[in-house]
């Protein structure tokens, strides 16, 4: 296989920074592959009593991307639709309001958030790197480093990629750890497909 066929693969050898960023990107790709190419019914499929859906995960992870790279790291507003949304710590709004959103909107929301996040992280890596302090602080405990916040995002994606595995298998039987060689998204803008930073 070539790099073009499996463009999401981390480097075979690299720096700690390169591997951390690549691990995050690989999880983003895995999640996006699991959510890709569905209509409203597929994006709103639930399992049992859980409120999780692939559409809700697209919206939730778009919010997480924007909050992470705007507010947690830079102390800036995450912008719309988050500023005017009726949000609380439960994440319930993302998982209920997504049923009213079109697939195009949900894919675009996530694609655009990831594109912004990758640009922001690229700028951070060129200007001080992962060990610089972020805006976000632990109450009474000082500021988090950018590295810590990026690791938290890797954990977030790992958890939700697992949820997406189960949801997608329920929708149409798609299973697997990684996309097949040569995969490209069929839904959304595809603006988030990238080359290495």
On the 0-12 / 13-18 / 19+ scale of CB atoms within 10 A, 164 is: buried
Q: What confidence tens digit (pLDDT) does each residue in 10-54 have?
A: 777 888 899 999 999 999 999 999 999 999 999 999 999 999 999
**For the CA atoms of the chain, what is the radius of gyration?**
17
**pTM of the predicted protein model:** 0.92
CA distances to 3, 8, 97, 163, 184 from 167, in Å: 29, 22, 18, 6, 20
8 Å CB contact between 119 and 74 = no
Query: If residue 115 lies in a helix (H) or strand (E), which one and from where to where?
Result: helix 103-126
Hunting for tokens 């992962």 — which residue is that? Answer: 130
pLDDT above 80: residue 148? yes
At residue 192, the pLDDT reads 59
Q: What confidence tens digit (pLDDT) does each residue in 58-77 have?
A: 999 999 999 999 999 999 99
């Amino acid at each position: 296989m070539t790099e073009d066929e499996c463009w999401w693969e981390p480097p075979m050898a690299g720096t700690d920074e390169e591997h951390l960023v690549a691990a995050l990107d690989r999880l983003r790709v895995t999640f996006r592959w699991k959510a890709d190419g569905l209509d409203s019914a597929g994006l709103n499929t639930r399992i049992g009593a859980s409120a999780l859906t692939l559409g809700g995960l697209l919206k939730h992870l778009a919010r997480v991307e924007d909050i992470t790279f705007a507010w947690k790291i830079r102390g800036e507003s995450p912008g719309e639709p988050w500023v005017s949304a009726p949000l609380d710590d439960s994440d319930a709004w993302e998982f209920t309001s997504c049923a009213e959103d079109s697939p195009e909107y949900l894919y675009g929301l996530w694609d655009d958030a990831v594109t912004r996040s990758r640009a922001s992280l690229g700028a951070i890596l060129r200007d001080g790197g992962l060990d610089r302090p972020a805006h976000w602080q632990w109450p009474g405990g000082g500021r988090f480093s950018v590295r810590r916040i990026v690791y938290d995002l890797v954990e977030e994606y790992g958890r939700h990629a697992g949820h997406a595995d189960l949801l997608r298998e329920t929708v149409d039987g798609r299973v697997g750890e990684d996309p097949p060689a040569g995969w490209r998204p069929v839904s959304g803008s595809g603006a988030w497909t990238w080359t290495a930073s």
